[in-house]
Structure 1
Amino acid sequence: MIPARTLRGRDALTGRAVEIGVEDGYVRSVRPWTPAGGDDVPLLAPGLVDLQVNGFAGHDVNGTDVDAGEVIALTRALARAGTTTWVPTVITASEDDIAGSLRAIAQARRSDPATARAVPYVHVEGPFISAEDGPRGVHPAAQVRPPDVAELERWQAACDGLVGMVTLSPHHPGSAGFVAAATARGVLVAIGHTGASPEEIHAAADAGASMSTHLGNGAHAVLARHPNYLWAQLADDRLTAGFVADGHHLPADTLRSMLRAKGLERSFLVSDSVALAGLPPGEYTTPVGGRVELSADGRLAEAGTPYLAGAARCLAECVATARRDAGLTLAEALRLATTSPGRFAGGRGRLVPGAPADLLRLTDDGIDTAVVEVIAGGEPVA
């Protein structure tokens, strides 16, 4: 049993002073609270929900040597940074390598209660994407292949049915049929790493696709003004879009315009972080990207080039960046990293009775927000 405790503060999403009762890892009550004069009133927020994590703090869910210990360590590292719910994201690879990552994640959930609580499902980003330069990003071209329901079923067999999201490009023949089959099995389908036509985008949404993966990235450097796959995804209200707000993947004007076009109610933030995220600045050698440089401001690029080599900031940093770059209030930016993605993770990211007791205590100076304490499952995170 986890000891009961009471937390008092100002709900960062609503501005109301509240008293939150926590017992056995869950929120049991949320009541109005009147602070006494002179009381220090901290800001309280739900733990952050990241639907796209490839790695962080030197840990990775991709590669040939992923094991349960790696996944468990990643859960701990993310929690310390304020992300209490995360979706491991396995990218394009051979079927054997994908299955290996899936088995490791499933084993981590079976052996570690904190990981079981933090990881609701797995996101497989690819291999059913575009093979074109630009849309493919850094995914290996040799492993790109058409969508295959039988392969999806083999993934599920490898991980006790843990695959809950698949990103694909709907330009492949038979994409609509795959989308319909996946969604019928309870798997979310996102559109990403694509050069598909608007008609193919909308056909995927007709078949049940409900999300866009890091919209504005995984795209051609140059494309027609209109029509194109970015406008189609922004316009289709059936698609809720993820955005990488690390200050590098989307310029401020682009992020602000895309959030306005899509609407905050159909948007959420992701870190899309890789294993080098959270490490000191410097030069590194990676399996994907080769020699890369990580700058002090979190920009990860192929050494000697202007090309990005992944995302290297945690979701809490993306919240602060989105707030500045898109002119959002603290509550708006936090919702993009809590309640909005939480809708795709079983309702996580809320401070309501019955929710997991994942909470953050924040400091806020009107420009930047910092996480100063994390409570995951009712217990402080060291």
Structure 2
Amino acid sequence: MDYQGRRIDTGEPVEIEVQDGVITAIHKLTEDPGHLPWVSSGWIDLQVNGLAGYDLNSERVTSADIEGVTRALHARGVAAYLPTVITGSDDRIKQGLRALADYCNSGAYGASSIIGLHLEGPYLSSEDGCRGAHDRAYTRNPDWEEFQRFQEAADGRIIMVTLAPERPGSLPFIEKLAEAGVVVAIGHTMATGEQLDAAIRAGATLSTHLGNGSQPHLPRHPNYIWDQLADDRLWATFIPDGHHLAPHVLKAMQRIKREKTILVSDCVKFGGMPPGRYHSLIGSHVELEANGRLSMVEHPAILAGSASTLDMGIAGAVAYTDMSLAEAIEAVTIRPAQVLGRPLLGMLETGAQASFTPFTWEEASASIRVVDTITDGMSRFGPR
């Protein structure tokens, strides 16, 4: 099967040849049809908690939840993602991980889009603000034996862990994760500069949703946001929904991190749902406003995850920062693939998996329309 589009990285009109789920050739078209959509390698989201009413952090995650999230992501241009299991009881975390592993092993629809699992917690700060909407009762110190049980439930699919490096036992835990090939991310933390430096030297490489999961009031300087921003050893993910970071803050942070900026959605199940008040395992009672802001009812200053998807985030990054459309796309393709140690995953090249996203861009409104999402060489929802 062949596909045509205009490469977002070069602007060239091309035809992509696919066989058995692999890109076998990419030819530059001799004539420009003039109506082609943009095309990039498939978008990658490193942090997805749920979407469209489907929850990956419910008390009992089902295959219907996982397939619902995956289909909804495909409709938004996301070809590959990390389901994110958050802080909770030992039983709930293991059940969620086991359900995700079983789904992947079943070969069900879109299973190949799940390229690994992200464990966000439970080894996070217990402090208000820093822990965000994570349940304080279940935040705890790193425990390698417990993590091994989590990894067993996940069938070895946990490839990223977000933790707070100031918790006792974190440094040897980070070293073991890094030795095992797991990406170590810093998040929901109030670590000192010395603790952050020690974590990076132990193997941490990424900041999770930098600028969020923090106390509402911080010293001007130093503080753990400045320290992570200034450290060139760290990549950083940002949620460009206009709520997690004010647009001017996102612009300043992106200018600092430059080519180490990665965009994520951090979407929860309320993405795509109508405004209103809901009950959620994340944050208990939450309110989704008409503008997309999702917060805890009891603590309106604390966000309860994102209700935006990655296509909206790409558009937001272009609108709010100095990023060009091509760079914003790089921040959801090449860069996350590099962080995961799978660079070919983020490339539109011969020999790569046939995973790509055709889309259109409306300059005047700074908006994206996803035309299709291709994974394993197959259209996942077709032209709309």
Query: Which TM-score band (shorter chain)?
Result: over 0.9
For residues 220 and 293 of structure 1, what CA distance do their matches in structure 2 show?
20
Match of 2:2, SS? strand
Equivalent of residue 278 in structure 1, options 272, 297, 312: 272
2:347 is matched with 350
- Residue of 341, 357, 360 corresponding to 2:336: 341
Confirm or deny: 8 A CA contact 2:132 2:302 kept in the other structure: no
Contact 1:48 1:316 in 2 (8 A): no
**Alignment of 1:222 onto 2:217:** yes
In structure 2, which of residues 28, 31, 40 is the aligned counterpart of residue 32 of structure 1?
28
One-letter amino acid of the structure 1 residue matched with residue 305 of structure 2: G
Of stretches 131-140 and 15-24 in structure 1, the one that deviates more from structure 2 is 15-24
The letter of the residue matching 2:190 is G
In the alignment, what sits opposite 1:20? 16
2: CA distance, partners of 1:145 / 1:292: 24
CA distance in 1, matches of 2:170, 2:302: 30
Match of 1:74 in 2: 69
Aligned to 2:140, the other structure's residue is in SS state coil
Partner SS state of residue 193, structure 1: coil
Distance 1:262 1:327, change over 3 A: closer
Percent of aligned pairs with the same amino acid: 43
Measured in 2, the distance between the counterparts of 1:360 and 1:297 equals 27
Could you report, residue by residue, the CA deviation over 1:43-87 in whole angstroms, capped at 9, with x for unpaired residues?
112221000001111111112211233212221221111111010
Aligned length: 376
Conserved in 1, the CA contact under 8 Å of 2:186 and 2:208? yes
By how many angstroms is 1:113 displaced?
A: 4.6
The CA deviation at 1:114 is: 4.1
Residues 133 and 296 in structure 2, CA contact (< 8 A), matched pair in contact too: no
1:344 counterpart letter in structure 2: V
Runs of 4+ residues deviating >4 angstroms: none
Normalising by the residue count of structure 2, what TM-score does the alignment of the two structures yield?
0.94
2:83 to 75, 83, 88: 88
**Is 1:124 aligned with 2:119?**
yes
Alignment check: 8 A CA contact 1:55 1:275 kept? yes
Give the distance between the partners of 1:72 and 1:365, measured in 2 at CA: 30
- The secondary structure found in structure 2 opposite 1:308 is coil
2:62 is the alignment partner of 1:63: no
**Following TM superposition, by how much is the alpha carbon of 1:325 offset from its aligned partner in structure 2, in angstroms?**
0.5
For the residue of structure 1 that corresponds to 2:346, the secondary structure is coil
Q: Report 1:178-327 matches (<5 A).
A: 178-263=173-258, 265-303=259-297, 305-327=300-322
Mapped contact 1:30–1:353 kept (Cα < 8 A):
yes
Deviation at 1:12, TM superposition (A): 1.2
Partners in 2 of 1:74 and 1:364 — Cα distance?
Answer: 24
Contact conserved, 1:215 with 1:230, CA < 8 A, in 2? yes
Give the Cα separation in 1 of the matches to 2:257 and 2:47. Answer: 19
Task: Check the 8 A contact 1:35/1:41 in 2, yes or no.
Answer: no
Task: Provide the rounded CA distance (Å) in 1 between the counterparts of 2:127 and 2:34.
Answer: 58
| 2:25 alignment partner, SS class | strand
| 1:183-229 CA distance string (max 9 Å, x none) | 11111110000000010001000000011000000011111111111
Verify the 8 A CA contact 1:128 1:147 in the aligned structure 2: yes
**Number of the residue aligned with 2:95:** 100
Rounded Cα–Cα distance in structure 2 between residues aligned with 1:353 and 1:123: 29
Deviations 1:265-288, CA, capped at 9 Å, x for gaps? 211001000011122333323233
User: 1:358 touches 1:376 (CA, 8 Å); kept in 2?
Assistant: yes
Q: Which residue of 1 aligns with 2:6?
A: 10
Match of 1:376 in 2: 375
Partner deviation per Cα, 1:107-127 (whole Å, 9 max, x = no partner): 000113544311111111011
SS of the residue corresponding to residue 22 of structure 1 reads: strand
Deviations 1:140-162 (A, max 9, x none): 00101111111111111112111
Quick check: 1:51–1:86 contact (8 Å CA) kept in 2?
yes
TM-score of the superposed pair, with normalisation by structure 1: 0.94
Report the CA distance between 1:255 and its aligned residue.
Answer: 0.5
Query: Gapped runs of 5+ residues in structure 1?
Result: none
* Range with greater deviation from structure 2 (55-64 or 361-370): 361-370
CA distance, structure 2, for counterparts of residue 107 and residue 224 of structure 1:
46
Q: What SS does the aligned partner of 2:99 have? A: helix
Q: Decide whether aligned partners of structure 1 residues 139 and 306 sit closer, same or farther in structure 2, where only a CA change above 3 A counts.
A: closer
In structure 1, the residue corresponding to 2:168 is in which secondary structure?
Answer: coil
Structure 1 residue 306: deviation in Å?
Answer: 4.7
Q: Which runs of 5+ in 2 are unaligned?
A: none
